[in-house]
Structure 1
Amino acid sequence: MQQAERITESEVDIEKKKQELYSEIDALGIKSDSRINKLKKFLADRKIWHLEEMDYPLRNSYEQYLRGQIRSQIVSFYLKIYDTVKQQHIYQQMQTLNGKRIYEWKYQNKIYFLKYYPEKKIAETFETSYKTNLLVWDFTQNCSEVLKKQIFYTLSRIIANTSMSKAYRNVRLKSLKLLYDSCVQLNITDVGLLEMEQVETILKNFPETSQRSILGECRRDAFMQQEQIQWEANVWYLERLHLGKHRIDESKSLISISFMEVKEIQNREILQAYMKYELGITGQAVSTIVRRFVCIRNFIELLEQEKILAIHATVVEVKKYADGLRERGIQAKGFNERIFGIGHFYKFMEVKQYITRMPFRIEYFQQKEVVVHHDRSVEETVYMEILKKLYLFPERLRCMFLHLWCLGLRASEVCTLKGNAYYQQGEDYWIQVYQVKMKNYKRIPIPQALYRIMKVYLKKHEIQPEEFIFKNSRGGACLYGTFRTQMIEACRENKIANGEYLFQSHDYRHTVATMFYDSHVSLQSIRDYLGHTYEEMTRQYIDYMSQRIAKANDEFFEMQGSSLASWLKKEEKDGK
């Protein structure tokens, strides 16, 4: 009798739980039909008493259950009801604090089904045009937890980007899935520590070149998400290092520093320690540091080809490197920069006691630099033709070109101008420019016409004071490479100089400096206008100087009493 009583109580409990489950489903407001009834029976048979317990593995079990009972052609219709019930339950629970905690999108060691994403707007984008295998992400696999978290982070970023088209997101998901599978097969523990050979092996698994960028994206995400900077990573992303903006030229596309080319672990660790010092302590412009870094890395690569560690290099290896630079025809300035960079690296190793003393003296290798002036001013016929046809150029290029032609700004300065750059004082008009190269601001007068043109442009495009005027696709500063490419194409399309003119932005600094000098503006004033520190640099921007000296010399000796003959006569008269 006691056994019969327990069974009876159990049946009562089960029936009560069934009714609670059915009530929970009915409360979702989904129209009841045979599909709902079959789902209810399946859940009750499996003793699933709460909708929170519905997940993707259970969905798979339900699919197998259906295939044993109904035609395969209509299985998808029944599965859709399963998904709808789960989705409606999630959206309902997301209205409560406890529900938000339960369904918060965060990494867990489980299988994720993207149709069950907690935000309805995003989840609905996966209802059509996606293969099931791209919607299922298995983070229960037997592989590194670090790797799984990195893949999850990139996955989260992709699906949260609502501005991405379905087709493009489909490509991104497919690429990430390939990357995940490849890393699992190769037993990769951390994408940030990938070696060059591993990268090459992974990329072979991508059938399309366009898919390969996902590796860089995932590696960047992995570096950016770390609570502490991952200094041992083989690629550093500058954005994560929180460098002062005054040290970064935002018109350049430099976003990362790669150590993968250095194969020997000891060499790489020393080079990483050196770059940590350079970026964190020196305060130099990032472009200067990276240029020196590339020279050092190239030297280390040559050492590794000879199977020599950086700490074991001698003057013989440095001399061999220097001879190679001479054979390549590297000019004295570039040659000295490379030798100085290597010397700087070895001085660092000496101070940090990686080596006892430097293996060579920089002075032994340095070459004498002979300053050679190159006349680069743009011919008047060329820039006048551009001005006449400027209305045919895109609006943005028109405005950017005027800053070069009128003011002689550096291209990096034009690309990084902000909405608060222009102002008026009395009857004068001014521009405030941040000089990336000099790491300071300069203020110079500008023509009234340019001021008015830019005020109209700012108003038309609703550019705020702290916004970049000429933006790239991501809202940052226009990249110099993009600007130059577009200008070259515009000049070609409009047949400037019969289509043979090759646009060089820096030529217009020479042009402005030369025009000022021809107008008898003092060298000191030209120096301040261009933003130079020394007059010697300004002289390099004033073209045709040798012709001017020759002309002045001719004019001097043509003057009465200044000719060579008159001086000889004077000497004879004086008895000399």
Structure 2
Amino acid sequence: MKWQNALKDYQLYLRIERGLSQNSIDSYSRDVNKLTDFLEENKIVITPITITSEHLQKFIYEAAKNVNARSQSRIISGLRSFFNYLVFEDYRKTNPLELIESPKIGRKLPDTLSEDEIDKLINAIDLSKPEGERNRAILETLYGCGLRVSELITLKLSDLFFDEGFIKVTGKGDKQRFVPIVNTTQKYINIYRNEIRKHINIQAGFEDTLFLNRRGKQLTRAMIFTIIKQLAEKIGLKKSISPHTFRHSFATHLLQNNADLRSIQLMLGHESITTTEIYVHLDKSHLAKIVEEFHPRKQKP
């Protein structure tokens, strides 16, 4: 079995059987391609069926020289998934990464913005330009609904159920969920729709896409990153932020205001509550206040 044939079969499995998004498939594929590049550079002729733990140890040792522990762990996890697939399909008897441990890494806490910082970013938008109203609606939607950037750029007019107070979001693996949308966010989306979007010459195929560029097509992920980066520079914000920072801030601020984790999990579209639990670690002072207020053994005056 050749590496590229095995990789194509694996990609098909990830798409059809595991229902992963193209971004996730690309990420898993990069891990396998890094391994095959290493084998080629070192003139090691071996197949996915015959490669051993020793070969993989050498690759991981070399990879560790150029990446941090978190990236190294990610590569090992990606390759372990690839070889698990080969075992699952009976191409191999064992996974050569079974005895290879990932480096110990601390749990990375996501960066967040304060409410004041979010207000400053939004207030820095130049509303005298047509794209200003669009950009304000974009930031309000990212923060107001906790969307991933991929979910934001694919949001459709037909996904808006404002009378019911919800939007329909298509997340990872094309899984759909309904997310509440507050009146403020609805207001800014409606301003953009009624005053800006309807004057755009919309290209065929994008008639239902909510947020459009000046050419009447869907915005790219890179464009959302650029909008946010430029606003951060404009207000002199020292934090390194991205569209995902608004999602983290959405979850953190909900938790700080006593929302329960299960509700936050559903709104974020996390498969596992474990993923959502990372937000519990963000504000220890908030958790201390919760115990003081609600624990039956709290100290009484």
TM-score above 0.5, yes or no:
yes
Larger radius of gyration: 1
User: What displacement does 1:477 show?
Assistant: 2.8
Determine whether 1:413 maps to 2:151.
yes
Counterpart for residue 277 of structure 2? 539
1:338 aligns with 2:78: yes
The residue aligned with 1:446 is 181
Question: Which whole-Å CA distance do the structure 1 matches of 2:262 and 2:107 have between them?
Answer: 21
Aligned-pair CA distance for 1:266: 5.0
Structure 1 residues 405 and 552: CA distance shift in structure 2, 3 A = closer
Q: Deviations over 1:243-287 (max 9, x none)?
A: xxxxxxxxxxxxxxxxxxxxxx95445545555665566643322
- The aligned residue for residue 299 of structure 2 is 559
Match of 1:526 among 242, 257, 264: 264
2:51 matched residue in structure 1: 313
**Aligned-pair identity (%):** 21
C-alpha distance in 1 between matches for 2:175 and 2:11: 24
Structure-2 separation of matches of 1:514 and 1:280: 34
Amino acid at match of 1:306: N
Q: CA deviation at 1:551?
A: 4.9
Instruction: Check 1:447–1:329 CA distance in 2 against 1; reply closer, same or farther (3 A cut).
Output: closer
Counterpart code for 2:121 = I
Deviation per CA, 1:292-324, whole angstroms, max 9, x where unpaired? 222112211211223222325332211111222
Could you say if the C-alpha distance between residues 381 and 325 of structure 1 is closer, same or farther in structure 2, counting changes exceeding 3 Å? same
Pairs aligned (count): 286
Q: Which residue of 2 aligns with 1:382?
A: 117
**Would the aligned equivalents of 2:167 and 2:178 in 1 still touch at CA under 8 Å?**
yes
Q: Distance in 1 between matches of 2:14 and 2:169?
A: 27
SS of residue matched to 1:537: helix
1:407-442 CA distances to partner (integer Å, 9 max, x unpaired)?
Answer: 2211211111111122244xx52212111x252222
Structure 1 452/368 Cα, relative in aligned 2: closer, same or farther at 3 Å?
A: same
Is the 1:514–1:541 contact (alpha carbons within 8 Å) kept by the matching residues of 2?
Answer: yes
TM-score (structure 1 length as normaliser): 0.44
Which residue pairs with 2:68 in the alignment? 329
Match of 1:484 among 209, 216, 225: 225
Root-mean-square deviation (CA, aligned residues, Å) is: 3.4
Q: Which structure 2 residues correspond to residues 185-264 of structure 1 after superposition, within 5 A?
A: none
1:286 aligns with 2:22: yes
TM-superposed deviation, 1:475:
5.0
Q: Are the aligned partners of 1:434 and 1:441 in contact in 2 as well (CA < 8 Å)?
A: yes
Structure number with higher relative contact order (C-alpha < 8 Å, ≥ 6 residues apart): 2
Letter of the 2:118 counterpart: Y
8 Å CA contact 1:419, 1:469 repeated in 2: yes
Paired with 1:544 and 1:275, the residues of 2 have a C-alpha distance of: 36
416-425 or 364-373, larger mean C-alpha shift? 364-373
Amino acid at match of 1:337: S
Q: Distance in 2 between matches of 1:375 and 1:276?
A: 32
Distance change (3 Å), C-alpha of 1:515 and 1:268: closer
> Where does residue 210 of structure 2 map in the other structure?
469
Task: Give the SS at the match of 2:168.
Answer: strand
Q: Secondary structure at the match of 2:150?
A: helix
Cα 1:453–1:369 change in 2 (3 A) is same
**Counterpart residue identity of residue 477, structure 1:** Q
CA distance in 2 between counterparts of 1:266 and 1:412 reads: 33
Describe the shift of the 1:406–1:344 C-alpha distance in structure 2 as closer, same or farther (beyond 3 A). Answer: same
How far, CA to CA, are the matches of 1:418 and 1:473 in structure 2?
A: 17
Show CA shifts across 1:171-190 (max 9, x none).
Answer: xxxxxxxxxxxxxxxxxxxx
CA distance in 2, matches of 1:344, 1:416: 32
8 Å CA contact retained: 1:514, 1:543: no
Shift of 1:511: 1.7
Work out which of the residue numbers 160, 184, 198 in structure 2 matches 1:422.
160
The answer to whether the 8 A contact 2:109-2:281 is kept is: yes
- What residue in structure 2 maps to residue 302 of structure 1? 38
Q: Would the aligned equivalents of 1:391 and 1:398 in 2 still touch at CA under 8 Å?
A: no
- CA separation of 1:471 and 1:559: change in aligned 2, threshold 3 A: same
Which of 166, 190, 193 is the matching residue for 1:458?
193
